[in-house]
Structure 1
Amino acid sequence: MIQPGERAPDFTLVDQHGREVASARLRGSRVALVFFPLAFSGVCGDELAELAANTAMFDEAQTQLVGVTVDSVFALRAWSDAAGATFPLASDFWPHGHVARRFGAFDERTGRADRATIMIDEGGIVRASFRAPPHRPRSLAQYTEALAALPHAAS
């Protein structure tokens, strides 16, 4: 997985509403890139619901939350609607897992993203990265710690 201090790879994906999510457009913003293995799976669904209920922690840290899965935009739209998620869920469907691979967060054996999180500063540098085992959720404490690793945002 990509490590702190490395430059985040460039990427362009489409979110659940058909909008482009591009690293070039995110540059200048702090970004929490959250990879999910699969939409509508048990642990992923619980994680999405928890993030949807706690977007304020990212807003307060002036950090854009972006979810990424290998699912289609149609599945992501239904998934985000079901969970009440208001942040972008980007489809890494085709080329399959291309962005997850670039971040070192793709499981070639299963064909899906790892349960990985990458925190990127305004300049596109990774400041924190962590992953959870396939069947275990990430905790809010892990996000809090990773947000603290980002340099203070300019006011």
Structure 2
Amino acid sequence: MTEQKRLSPGDQAPEFTLPDSQGNNVSLSDFRGRWVVVYFYPAAGTPGCTKQACDFRDNLALLDDSGYQVLGISPDKQSKLAKFAADQGLTFPLLSDSDKTVLTEWAAFGEKKNYGRVVQGVIRSTFVVDPEGRISKALYNVRATGHVARLLKDLDLAE
């Protein structure tokens, strides 16, 4: 498998339309004119993904008040995303990319190390997309714990 070219600041963000946890189609272009935080995570309900999602939830008002829309994307089915959102009180869209097309286009799926072994999987990644649809920040291989706090600092939103 050839490695997908990673996105960099200034690149046009690849467009997508994916179903959310309620079955509604959500497109990146729906948010044109707004800043968007798109984050890719491996699996709803796992400890790291829950920590990361809850960190976004806990900072959602700050992000929203600052003009940022948060979108979470994983290969999970809609039913699993709906349960995850309900269990954790998540109010931002969780999108299902079950065939991993969008994950691959954003270079958030591919080879990664897992406990010292090289495996194929979701590469935990976060992107900030500007109001014109260009990548402002591209963060690959982020850690679940502390990531949102670091992102807020990078966006000059941390207190």
TM-score by length of 1: 0.85
What's the RMSD between the two structures over aligned residues? 1.9
Q: Residue 41 of structure 1 aligns to which amino acid in structure 2?
A: T
Q: Could you give the per-residue CA deviations for residues 62-114 of structure 1, whole angstroms, max 9, x where no partner exists?
A: 01100000000110000011110000000001xx1110111111125755421
Aligned counterpart for 2:151 among listed residues 136, 143, 147: 143
Q: Residue 105 of structure 1 aligns to which amino acid in structure 2?
A: A
TM-score by length of 2: 0.83
Contact in 2 for aligned 1:119/1:147 (Cα 8 Å): no
CA distance 1:9–1:73, change in 2 (3 Å): same
Q: Residue 72 of structure 1 aligns to which amino acid in structure 2?
A: K
> Any unmatched runs of 5+ in structure 2?
1-5, 112-117
Structure 1 SS opposite 2:140: strand
1:53 counterpart residue number: 58
Structure 1 CA distance for aligned equivalents of residues 96 and 51 of structure 2 = 19
Deviant stretches of 4+, over 4 Å: 108-111
Give the share of equivalent positions with the same residue, in percent. 28
> Any unmatched runs of 5+ in structure 1?
150-155
Structure 2 SS opposite 1:9: coil
Q: Could you give the per-residue CA deviations for residues 7-58 of structure 1, whole angstroms, max 9, x where no partner exists?
A: 0011110101111110221222210001111111111011111211211121
- Quote how far apart the aligned CAs of 1:142 are: 2.1
